[in-house]
Amino acid sequence: MITSLQNEQVKHVVSLHEKKGRNEFGEFLVEGKRFVQEALLRKAIIRKIYYCADSDATNNELMITIPQLIQEAEKQHTHYEEVSETVMRKMSATEEPQGIVAIVRKPIFDWQDIRIEENTILLVIDGIQDPGNLGTILRTALAADVTQIILTKKTVDVYNPKVLRSSMGSIFSQTIILNKTPQEVGNICRSNQCTMVVSAMDGSSIYRSDIRKDYPLALIIGNEAIGPDAFFTEKADKKYAIPMFNHVESLNASMAAGIFLYEMRRQGQFL
């Protein structure tokens, strides 16, 4: 059992709370029983699990216990180690730790991992800064069976702990390409005959447009305050908007993304 806060493994886990540490080691941290369970179920590459048996509360809605997770880790030949409650609090990035964290290796995806077929929807997230928004968008996208995601350089780190918590483990089932420029996105769309669609206030109503003609398509969701990069608004093949009443000017980015994705799926008759 690890009991010292000065242990090098403890220091390593704490370093993953920051983007610098995550980039240096190519790893990120997942916390909580449900999230660790998702990592195990979806066969993420887990470097090591740390757990505190004393903090194994049963207030999780899944009623999963730490011993059950450790048993599954054993089946998958995943390394694990017990730590004291003091050490677990140090390792955790949350105020109320659930008693288990896991170090996971970052997957490395690039353009060669993108598969554009007749019914493909690519989701391009451009400049979203709020971690909760990004995580919720990823979770909603997976629910809408959108699994190929491109994040531009200005977007918040997808491995930020707040993003991960909001995503509820969806990242383990998505191909997420990071740090791309709008121009690179435009090139990949052109080379694959993929319609570049931007959400814009001056666009046509998404409910009065025949989006089926746009497939395959790339949906651009822009920054919460300023919208998509100028390249996207200038080069977009189509601009669509969500009609709003009562002088409401805009919606939360994650809410807007959900409406767009599900209307696109509905028109495509994929569900």
Domains assigned to the chain: 8-105 (3.30.1330.30), 111-268 (3.40.1280.10)
pTM score of the predicted model: 0.91
Q: How many CA atoms lie within 13 A of 269 on its CB side?
A: 3
Chain centroid to Cα 76, Å, comes to 24
Q: What is the pLDDT of residues 37-78, one digit of tens each?
A: 999 999 999 999 999 987 765 444 557 899 999 999 999 999
| Cβ atoms 228, 222 nearer than 8 A | yes
What digits encode the pLDDT tens for the residues 113-168? 999 999 999 999 999 999 999 999 999 999 999 999 999 999 999 999 999 999 98
Q: Which residues lie across from 268 on neighbouring strands?
A: none
